[in-house]
Amino acid sequence: MYRVFLAEDESLIRKGIKNLIAWNEYGFAFVGEAQDGELAWPLIQKQKPDIVITDIRMPFMDGLSLSRLIKKNMPETTIIILSGYDDFTYAKEAIGIGVDQYLLKPLSRDQLIKVLLEVKKKKDQVREKQRYMEQFQKEVQEYLSSSHRAFFEALISGKHSVPELIERAEKLKINLTAESYNIVLLLVEENFDDISYEMQNADYQDELFQKFPKNNQIEMFSMGVDVIAFLIKADSGKITSVTQSCINRIAEIFESLNNVMKWTAKEGNPVSRLSAVAQCYQEARQKIFHLEQFALEDADNGIQENSGKEFNFNKLDASKMDQRIVEKFLSNGLENEIDGFVNDYFNSMGESAMESTIFRQYVLMHVQFTTKAFVEKINVIKEIVHSDLQMDLSLMEAISSLDGAKTYVSKLLEEAIQIRDQVSRCRYSSMMDKAIGYMKVHFSDHDIDLRTVAEVANISATYFSGVFSQQMGKTFVEYLTELRMQHARELLRCTDKSSGEIAYEVGYKDSHYFSFLFKKVNGCSPRDYRAGGKHDKI
């Protein structure tokens, strides 16, 4: 529905235009009228019409002066000039202002309707193009987000060369030039008892990305629903202060959200080499799970290396055996992080302490009870015992050596995390089934997007985006693109349709964008693929 405003000093003409056209039937809404430009202007500012019909000669403010104001302040508004003067000078001036139509009086109802429908058609085309461009930008942004995450994962893996990292960063327009680097990790802890709590965990990311200051010193990377990583870049003398300002800003934003989400933000230790950023990340992860090195006291030989002697528990700091350390890892840790966590956890107790058989038994029982409580909390099974874990070692065998103890705990945590992930999949299975089923049927719809599918799944778009990425291992746009490309490959090999026709059939109005994506996904152009070039990567 396009909003129309009329400025006309002749009362009969004004009433005729207003009353003789069935505006709604033609897709318009008549939103106001005025007898001259001076009275019209404040009403136009308030109503913000899409189309203004104005007489060229009016008292107080004429139509050309009104048109200048409109085009200066609301350039997208279409202006139709009505004139009783067949004067080229007026027409030329109107064209210079940007008036869309210059019509001579007397004007019949049908003539005006014809002009209005022409204007409507043009506006429909502009709106459609704008809507498509918005969707295009969303898809591009999704790809950039996915590429940013992949880059950060490569950076913290420690498996890529510095030249390769720099090249990937340049493609993403990330400046890595700095004297010092650091990592800040933000973790929002999961509450398995409250699904709305999880939705808040997804929504907070929008707030952070909107409110966090944009600068060259801090890069943000979304790592899923519950983790955001910050890459800090600064001069060596400022790296500490920039890191702390990042943490302070996180705290300010969460305070402004005024909710009860539990969050933790921890930093690594600054490094001067890009290749050492992976070390920063691991240090931040250790701090997230409270695994900083804090060896137990060994004063007065309180902890004995001889496993046959009594272990002095009076020398044990209770905070170092806090069950929340294990709980936090069970809630948020990943399977590929288990070995690192177990090594850090045991090391944090102190080497001499872990040489005590009695203390190893105490640690293993502590982890076992905490893991059992965690599994019971997420309401999957009521008991978790050695036989359930299919362990190679019994508890007594495990405590006989440090390696055996580590293996025992690793398998215990692995089983619990697998159960946790199974619970998560069960939680989301109905939602994901709806979403995937809808996408497989409607992938070729030109207007399908994340919000559309989230509505089908009856969940917020932000939360759906995070869950989709975690459950599918890829972003929404990546999965949608795979569906479209799979069908495009079939059409290329099995039909003689042109690339443009195939692009439209699989959901892309822009054939150039389709070709760009096709080559990105499949490694060759649609033409080369049809000619028997490279096979798909999917």
Task: Answer yes or no: is 507 within a domain.
Answer: yes
Q: What is the crossing angle of helices 195-211 and 461-472, to 10°?
A: 100
Query: Which CATH number is 75's domain given?
Result: 3.40.50.2300
DSSP 235-291: -TTTHHHHHHHHHHHHHHHHHHHT----EEEEE---BS-GGGHHHHHHHHHHHHTT-
- Are 100 and 54 within 8 A, CB to CB? no
Q: Are residues 506 and 399 both part of a single domain?
A: no
Whole-prediction pTM: 0.49
**Residue ending a domain, choose from 48, 75, 107:** 107
- Are 405 and 398 within 8 A, CB to CB? yes
Q: Are residues 48 and 10 both part of a single domain?
A: yes
For residue 523, give its domain range.
444-530
Count other Cβ atoms within 10 Å, centred on residue 227: 17
Task: Answer yes or no: is 437 within a domain.
Answer: no
Q: Are residues 247 and 305 both part of a single domain?
A: no
Q: Are residues 371 and 458 both part of a single domain?
A: no
- Are 78 and 51 within 8 A, CB to CB? yes
Q: Are residues 260 and 176 both part of a single domain?
A: yes
Q: Are residues 182 and 203 both part of a single domain?
A: yes
Task: Answer yes or no: is 182 within a domain.
Answer: yes
- Are 354 and 360 within 8 A, CB to CB? yes
**Residue ending a domain, choose from 54, 78, 107:** 107
Provide the CA 329 distance to its chain's centre, in angstroms: 24
Q: How many domains does the chain have?
A: 4
Of 122, 105, 109, 104, the closest CA to residue 51 belongs to 122
Task: Answer yes or no: is 317 within a domain.
Answer: yes
Task: Answer yes or no: is 116 within a domain.
Answer: no
Q: Are residues 222 and 337 both part of a single domain?
A: no
The amino acid that residue 187 corresponds to is L
d(CA 386, CA 453): 43
**What pLDDT was estimated at residue 140?**
58
Q: Are residues 157 and 282 both part of a single domain?
A: yes
d(CA 194, CA 312): 41
Task: Answer yes or no: is 138 within a domain.
Answer: no
d(CA 480, CA 253): 33
Q: Are residues 242 and 152 both part of a single domain?
A: yes
Question: What tens-digit pLDDT sequence spans the chain (538 residues)?
Answer: 899 999 998 888 889 899 888 899 999 999 999 999 999 999 999 999 999 999 888 889 888 899 999 988 998 899 998 887 666 667 677 777 778 877 887 878 888 899 999 999 888 888 877 776 666 666 655 555 567 777 888 898 888 899 999 988 888 888 888 999 999 998 876 555 544 445 555 566 667 777 777 778 998 887 766 778 899 999 999 999 999 999 998 888 888 776 666 788 899 999 999 999 999 998 888 787 765 543 334 433 333 333 344 445 555 554 556 677 888 888 778 888 888 888 888 887 777 777 778 788 878 888 888 888 888 777 654 444 333 444 455 777 778 788 888 888 888 898 888 888 777 777 777 788 889 999 999 999 988 888 889 888 887 777 787 778 777 877 888 889 999 999 999 999 999 999 989 999 999 888 888 888 888 888 888 989 988 755 444 3
Q: Classify residue 435 by burial, with Cβ atoms within 10 Å: 0-12, 13-18, 19+.
A: buried
**What pLDDT was estimated at residue 44?**
93
- Are 219 and 174 within 8 A, CB to CB? yes
**Residue ending a domain, choose from 258, 286, 314:** 286
pLDDT tens-digit series, residues 488-515: 999 999 999 999 899 999 998 888 888 8
Residue written as token pair 């129309």: 4
The amino acid that residue 285 corresponds to is R
d(CA 363, CA 33): 81
Give SS3 for 491: helix
Q: Are residues 95 and 191 both part of a single domain?
A: no
Residues forming a β-bridge with 29? 3
**What pLDDT was estimated at residue 381?**
45
Edge-to-edge strand ranges of the sheet holding 2-7: 28-34, 2-7, 51-55, 78-83, 101-104
Query: Which CATH number is 243's domain given?
Result: 3.30.70
Task: Answer yes or no: is 397 within a domain.
Answer: yes
- Are 255 and 194 within 8 A, CB to CB? no
Task: Answer yes or no: is 120 within a domain.
Answer: no
Q: Are residues 269 and 357 both part of a single domain?
A: no
Q: Are residues 153 and 85 both part of a single domain?
A: no
Of 334, 290, 327, 331, the closest CA to residue 156 belongs to 334
Q: Classify residue 499 by burial, with Cβ atoms within 10 Å: 0-12, 13-18, 19+.
A: buried
